[in-house]
Amino acid sequence: MSLASSSSSSPFTSSVPSSSSHAHVLSAYGWDGGWEAEFAAYADQGLVPGRVVRVDRGQCDVVTADGVVRADTAFVTPHDPLRVICTGDWAAVETVGTPRYVRAYLPRRTAFVRSTSSTRSEGQILAANVDHAIIAVPLAVELDLGRIERFLALAWESGAQPLVVLTKADLVPDPVGLSYLVQDVETAAPGVQVLPVSATGGEGVDVLAAVVSGGTSVLLGTSGAGKSTLANALLGEEVMAVQATRDVDGKGRHTTTTRNLLVLPGGGVLIDTPGLRGVGLWDAEAGVGQVFSEIEALAEDCRFHDCAHLAEPGCAVLAAIEDGSLPQRRLDSYRKLLRENQRIVAKTDARLRSEILKDWKRKSAAGRAALEAKRGGRNR
């Protein structure tokens, strides 16, 4: 320990919340020099940093250097649902007041977004600042590769590294059968680790613990997939409530109802989320491309650069289907997700356009009214 450095610090600095005091506590939650630098302007305003560990109805729990603060989110709940504060965000919180308000949050490094429903296309942010997107797929029900591909597209699009965890592996006691299931999922997930785990038997949990020990991870998947059970296994204690589901159709009640951020004993941060019945794509063209990277690589060898892989001569994609190296299901799924993505983007654009038009009409109506009032005034 250097006496020189400790004596050089002014005694007056202790009255100002020094960056290193909160950095020490918050580093377990992922705080780093980058966040510190981004936060400087808020620190100057007397605000303190904290990570959002839960959001519900107008309030959120933020972990700060002084512990968990319940704060009001009125200032960070704008009309645009993608800009609403979310679990995983780094918040700038007031130090005084009842209630204390979150005044802002730092620009997100990554964000997992889905569209909420097909009827009203609206984006919903599920987790912010995540490094690993863990897709939990239960082996208790038949594999739905299309749904895995859809989750993966959103995961790639989020900026996080996806990982597929095949849960409840103890329900497939035959190792050969299990390896076939893993292979099936691997064909739907190029560049993604596919890991069978059993929270009850413990298989694979240590491998998963190593992955999630760095950075922030989010558990995503259908209700009853075993996300919270896995979270508890990683935590080493029963923190999240778990409830039996009807495994035949996976349509149990939603046990987890809020997104919760938890610090893991072996390092790393985990966000457990409520089950999702389905995930709609949300402007995820690049993500779709990454899920089907082998098709996009093949397409580079098609004779025509705008080949639609339908019946064109010299089509490398169709040739791969012909020789059996590319399953037809993959091409069909690729087409389906690209089409769905285009529909969502077009719908969103259309809505934006109509909002702009409405705004313009309102403004021009106000302008005309003002002009008429002026003219009326002149004529009188």
Ligand X SMILES: Nc1nc2c(ncn2[C@@H]2O[C@H](COP(=O)(O)OP(=O)(O)OP(=O)(O)O)[C@@H](O)[C@H]2O)c(=O)[nH]1
When CB distances are held under 5 to 8 angstroms depending on the partner's kind, the choice from Mg ion, Zn ion, ligand X, none that residue 161 binds is: none
Q: What is the rounded CA–CA span in Å between residue 334 and residue 341?
A: 11
The CA angle 371-376-379, to the nearest 5 degrees, is: 125
CA 135 to chain centroid, in Å, comes to: 11
**What is the amino acid identity at position 99?**
P
Q: Is 74 exposed, middle or buried (0-12, 13-18, 19+ CB in 10 A)?
A: exposed
The CA angle 62-63-68, to the nearest 5 degrees, is: 85
Residues recorded for the chain: 380
315 annotated among ligand-binding-site residues: yes
Count of residues touching Mg ion (by CB under 5 A): 4
Count of residues touching Zn ion (by CB under 5 A): 5
Residue closer to Zn ion, measured from CB, 69 or 331 = 331
Q: Are 270 and 256 in contact, with CB atoms under 8 Å apart?
A: no
Q: State which of residues 134, 152, 163, 225 lies at the interface with ligand X (CB under 6 A).
A: 225
> Under the criterion CB under 6 A, does residue 115 sit at the interface with ligand X?
no
In the complex, least distance from residue 203 CB atom to ligand X, rounded to whole angstroms: 9
Q: State which of residues 129, 217, 222, 228 lies at the interface with Mg ion (CB under 5 A).
A: 228
In the complex, least distance from residue 276 CB atom to ligand X, rounded to whole angstroms: 8
Q: Is 244 exposed, middle or buried (0-12, 13-18, 19+ CB in 10 A)?
A: exposed
| Buried-state track 322-338, b at ≥16 Cβ within 10 A, e below 16 | eeeebeeebbebbeebb
**Number of other residues whose CB lies within 10 A of the CB of residue 164:** 24
24 annotated among ligand-binding-site residues: no
Contact track, Zn ion, 124-163, x by CB under 5 A: ----------------------------------------
Residue closer to ligand X, measured from CB, 168 or 309 = 168
Contact track, ligand X, 37-76, x by CB under 6 A: ----------------------------------------
In the complex, least distance from residue 195 CB atom to ligand X, rounded to whole angstroms: 13
When CB distances are held under 5 to 8 angstroms depending on the partner's kind, the choice from ligand X, Mg ion, Zn ion, none that residue 307 binds is: Zn ion
60 annotated among ligand-binding-site residues: no
> Under the criterion CB under 6 A, does residue 245 sit at the interface with ligand X?
yes
The CA angle 201-231-113, to the nearest 5 degrees, is: 130
Q: State which of residues 165, 317, 320, 331 lies at the interface with Zn ion (CB under 5 A).
A: 317
Residue closer to ligand X, measured from CB, 130 or 295 = 130
Within 130-189, which residues bind ligand X (CB under 6 A)?
A: 167-168, 170-171
Stretch that binds Mg ion, among 10-18, 129-137, 187-195, 251-259 (CB under 5 A): 251-259
DSSP notation for 265-297: TTS-EEEE----S--B--S-HHHHHHHTHHHHH
> Under the criterion CB under 6 A, does residue 229 sit at the interface with ligand X?
yes
Q: What secondary structure letter does DSSP report for 166? A: E
HSE (CB half, 13 Å, CA atoms) of 283? 15
Q: What is the rounded CA–CA span in Å between residue 134 and residue 54?
A: 19
Within 257-316, which residues bind Zn ion (CB under 5 A)?
A: 302, 307, 309, 315
User: E strands within the chain?
Assistant: 48-56, 59-64, 67-72, 90-93, 100-105, 111-115, 123-128, 132-138, 161-167, 193-196, 216-221, 260-263, 269-272
Q: Given the rule CB under 5 A, which residues bind Zn ion?
A: 302, 307, 309, 315, 317
Residues that bind Mg ion (CB under 5 A): 227-228, 255-256
Annotated binding-site positions for GTP: 167-170, 221-229
Residues that bind ligand X (CB under 6 A): 167-168, 170-171, 198-200, 223-229, 242-245, 254-256, 274-275
**Annotated binding-site positions:** 167-170, 221-229, 302, 307, 309, 315
Annotated binding site for Zn(2+): 302, 307, 309, 315
